[in-house]
Every structure is written in structure tokens, then in C-alpha cells.
Amino acid sequence: MGLSCPAVHVDHCRTAGRVPGVLCFNCNSAIGLLGEIPGTVRRAAAYLEGNSWKPTLVAPGVYQLPS
């Protein structure tokens, strides 16, 4: 959450039926739009950080591209 991002919206998990916390409107909306899937959120963060297309060295001279 950003500095001007007041946490005023109660988040809820539809599948578990629990309240994990309180978020700002933008963060709550973003998580919902990303399908509440942690892997999707991580890929979005990697994209924003500029890491989404960088290959990973897995062995000397062998690189793996992100999937």
C-alpha cells in the first residue's frame, strides 16, 4: 500500500469465508481483479520491478526464461 492509501476496506476470502485483513480500495480491487491467486500477484510484481523477462542462470551457460 502506498503512503496515501488508507486501509479502510475489509478484505474477505470468498472460498474460506474469513476476513484476512483491512486494505485500501485500490489494493483490495487489484487483488480481486488478479483472482486472489498468489502466483499471479507475484508475476505482476515482477513485471513492475522489471524482472519479468530476465533469464535465470540454472547452470554454467544455461539460462531459463520465465514462464
Is the residue at 3 inside a domain?
no
Q: How confident is the model at residue 60 (pLDDT cuts 50, 70, 90)?
A: very high
Q: 16 vs 10, 30, 36, 38, 41, CA distance in Å?
A: 15, 19, 12, 15, 19
> Is the pTM for the entire model greater than 0.85?
no
Task: Quote the CA–CA distance of 37 and 17 in Å, as a whole number.
Answer: 16
Q: Is residue 1 a part of any domain in this protein?
A: no
pLDDT tens column, 3-45: 567 778 777 766 777 777 888 888 888 888 998 889 998 888 8
pLDDT band at 1 (very low <50, low <70, confident <90, very high): very low
Provide the pLDDT for residue 3: 52
Domain count, the chain: 1
The answer as to whether 58 is a domain residue is yes
The per-residue pLDDT for 59 is: 92
- Asked if residue 53 is part of any domain, the answer here is yes
